[in-house]
Structure 1
Amino acid sequence: MNDDLDKIDRAILAALQTDGRMSNARLAETVGLSETPCARRLKRLENDGYIERYRAVLSRSALGLGVVAFVYVRFAVHDRAVAMRFEREILAIPRILSCHNVSGSADYVLQVVARDLDDYGTFMRDQLRSLPGVTSVESSLSLREIKANGGLPLP
C-alpha cells in the first residue's frame, strides 16, 4: 500500500468501492470531511491513479446470463506471436469477463458467461477452440456465486 494514503483517503476509497455513485455530500459525511476538502481529495485520488474508472455492475440474471464458467486454456507450443494474437482476440469477445495468464498446468484462465449450457457449448465449439494457439480447454461451471466484485482490500 502506498504510504501517501492516509486514513481518510482509505475511507474515501472504501466508500466508493461500495457505492461509486455516492454524491460528494454523502461521501464527505461518510468520511468526516466538509464537501470541498473531500472533493479535492477525490480529485487527487483520481489523478494519482488510485481510482481507474467508475462503472455499473449489471445483473447477470436480469440479462439472461445464467451460466458462469471458468475455462482453463492450454497451448502446446508457447510462441509469443501466437499468444499475442490469442490475447488480442480475447479482448474482442464480450462474453469473456476476465482473462488471466497464469502459472501451472494451464496457460490462461478465462471467466465466461453464457445464456445456458447450449449457448456455452456453441461458444466453446465455434469461438474458443478456434482461437490461435489453443490446443485444449477444460471448464469448471459455477454452481453458486458466493462473492463477486468484492473490491480491493484497504488496510
Structure 2
Amino acid sequence: MDAIDRAILRELQADGRLTNQELAARVGLTPSPCLRRVRQLEEDGVIRGYRAVVDPTALGRGFEVFASVEVHRDRDSVAAFESQVQRIPDVIEAYRLYGAPGSLLRIAVADSEAFERFWTDKLIALPGVSDVNSQMIMKRIKSPEGLPID
C-alpha cells in the first residue's frame, strides 16, 4: 500500500459517496487508475464496505449505554452469550476483552426506562452472565467512523 492508496482511503472515509472522478481529482490520478486502485483495495479486503452513518436520536435510540459484562469463563457460556448478543438489535457494538470485564457492549435504546427494561428482560437473562456494570454516555466526543491512515 502506497501513499496514493492511503490518500484514497482517507478521502473515502471522509466521504464514501465521492464519484470516481471526484476521488481521482482529490488524490491526483486520472479516473481509470483510481478506479483500479479502489477495486483492488476492495478485493484485498482493505475496504470492507460502504454504509450510511445514521443519527441514533432520529431512530429513537438516542440513549446510549456501555455495559461491562462478566460471563462465566467456560467455552459453552461464552459461545452462547456471544451468539445471543449478535441477535439483539439494541446491542450496536460488542467486544470480548482481555481481562476483566470479559465483554463490553454498546447499547442504544430510546431512554432510561427502555434501558431498564432491556437490562431486566434481556441483558441479565443472557446465558452465562454473572455481573453487569453500566455507564450512560453523557456526550460523544469522538466517533469511530474512520481509522487513522498513515
TM range (shorter): over 0.9
2:28 is matched with which residue?
A: 32
1:91 matched to 2:86: yes
Partners in 2 of 1:46 and 1:103 — Cα distance?
Answer: 30
2:131 counterpart of 1:136: yes
Alignment of 1:139-154 (within 5 A): 139-154=134-149
Instruction: Output the CA distance in 2 between the equivalents of 1:66 and 1:39.
Output: 38
TM-score w.r.t. structure 1 length? 0.94
Q: Which residue of 2 aligns with 1:51?
A: 47
Structure 1 segments of 4 or more deviating over 6 A? none
Deviation at 1:149, TM superposition (A): 2.5
Q: 1:122 aligns with which of 112, 117, 125?
A: 117
Number of residues of Structure 1 aligned to a counterpart in Structure 2: 150
Identity %: 40
Secondary structure at 2:92's aligned position in 1?
Answer: strand
Paired with 1:107 and 1:49, the residues of 2 have a C-alpha distance of 28
Q: Are 1:23 and 2:32 matched, yes or no?
A: no
**TM-score, length of structure 2 as denominator length:** 0.97
What CA deviation, in whole Å up to 9, does each residue of 1:39-60 have, x standing for no partner? Answer: 0000000001100111111111
Unaligned runs of 5+ in 2: none
Does the residue aligned with 2:133 lie in a helix, a strand or coil? strand
SS for the counterpart of 1:130 is: coil
Distance 1:131 1:89 in 2: 7
2:70 is paired with a residue whose SS is: strand
